[in-house]
Amino acid sequence: MIPPAPIAILFNMKNTPSRLPLADFLALIDRRINPLSVETVPPQEAAGRAIARDAVAVADVPGFDRAAMDGYAVRSSDTGARSVVGDSFPARPFSGTLSSGQAVRVMTGAPLPSGADAVVPFEEGDPAGLPPISAGKNVGRRGEDVVAGRLLFRAGRVLRPQDVALLVSSGVASVFVHRTPRISILVTGDELLPVGSLPSGYRIVDSNSVMLSALVKRDGGEPDVAPIVSDRRDAIRDALLMADGDLVFICGGSSVGLEDHSHRVMADEGQLLAHGVALRPGAPTGFGEHRGRFVFLLPGNPVSCLCAFDLFAGRALRRMVGRGMELPYVSVQVPLAETVESKAERVDYVRVTLESGHARPLSVRGASVLSTTTTADGFFLVPHEAANVTAGEIVRVYLYDTRR
């Protein structure tokens, strides 16, 4: 049993939070979160899921020598004319054995007749004058695709459509995967209008629940979005008590303002393990436990919410479903186009565009400007110890969209 970590946010006389280094916050998550239990599913239901155990081929693919194209199955040692003695179709093979001077019409994918070792394509001649051919020509040998007992995929691989097709073709009837977790998403804010509304007066539309739901699906979870929760301590407490997901996300109300109650509710009702991380944006992120469920407190500003999900909440989710904890983005290393000023002992999440082989930081970097994440090609992280990153330095950019 791992002893509880100390609460990572302490307030001084000026009510300024002491923030945990990002690496320490990640280490806390990694110590607490474990993969979910394993279940078996048929391969056709496993696409998009990470396998929990190595997958091994049950059968050879193909399970017989077969024609790789339409033509005449022959003995390569023969020369001259051949007489056609039958046909071989897929699943309906020629029943005899080919003798010298004979040929069998064979269709693509059909079993190669016994005694034959090559296929002459129809367009290259007729039985009265077939050209010489080498052994094995236009023949698919048994096991040339997969041999029984071969390791197909190691545990942790997220299965693609072609992966599940290979599993099925090699006789695998079921695969081991981690159970799909249900994620309770609680979004707080008296200023929020339901999805589908038009912004009105001083009220804005809840976009975080939509974004978080999509992120949860991307990383292997099933989102369960609750109705918008008002900025009242008792309302947040009641919503938390009703949440029954494998993970709980409370989005909004995580900072230190007068109506920021999420961390206070967590401290009262459960165990607040950490609150406040040396990160911009995303500093008000928190992590705790309530009735055996882990809870993430995510900032309400949408860019902060996206950043905190990818770095923290998504990391936990990816760990639970066996995907590993790294960021789920393709990355490239490119030089920085201009200097980025940061602050030592803080990690900065910097949105960039890729221009002429360089990463150019966006001029607008506000945590509430969601459009910056749609115009940016990706982001990089300024290291905790760096006061700035100078133009020309190589940075690792994580691409939001890999379809380039």
Residue pLDDT, tens place only, 286-336: 999 999 999 999 999 999 999 999 999 999 999 999 999 899 999 999 999
Residues 165 and 53 in one domain: yes
Query: Do residue 279 and residue 292 come from a single domain?
Result: yes
DSSP annotation of 35: P
% the chain with pLDDT above 70: 95
Which 8-state DSSP code applies to residue 115?
Answer: T
DSSP of 137-199: TTEEPTTSSB-TT-EEE-TTPBPPHHHHHHHHHTT---EEEEPPPEEEEEEB-TTEE-TTPPP
Same domain for 78 and 27? no
- Indicate whether 15 pLDDT > 50: no
Whole-model pTM: value is 0.89
Average pLDDT, rounded, for the chain:
93
Query: d(Cα 113, Cα 116) in Å, to the nearest integer?
Result: 6
| Helix residue spans in 280-387 (DSSP H) | 302-308, 314-320, 372-375
d(CA 39, CA 8): 36
Residues 215 and 257 both lie in one domain: yes
What is the C-alpha separation between 248 and 33, in angstroms, rounded? 13
- Does 120 fall in a domain? yes
Which residue range is the domain that position 217 belongs to?
22-37+182-320
Indicate if 219 and 277 belong to the same structural domain: yes
Same domain, 244 and 280: yes
* Domains held by the chain: number: 4
43 and 33 within one domain:
no
Instruction: Tell me the per-residue pLDDT of 196-211, one tens digit each, with 9 for 90 and over.
Output: 999 999 999 999 999 9
Quick one: 310 and 191 in the same domain? yes
- Residue 44 and residue 75 share a domain: no
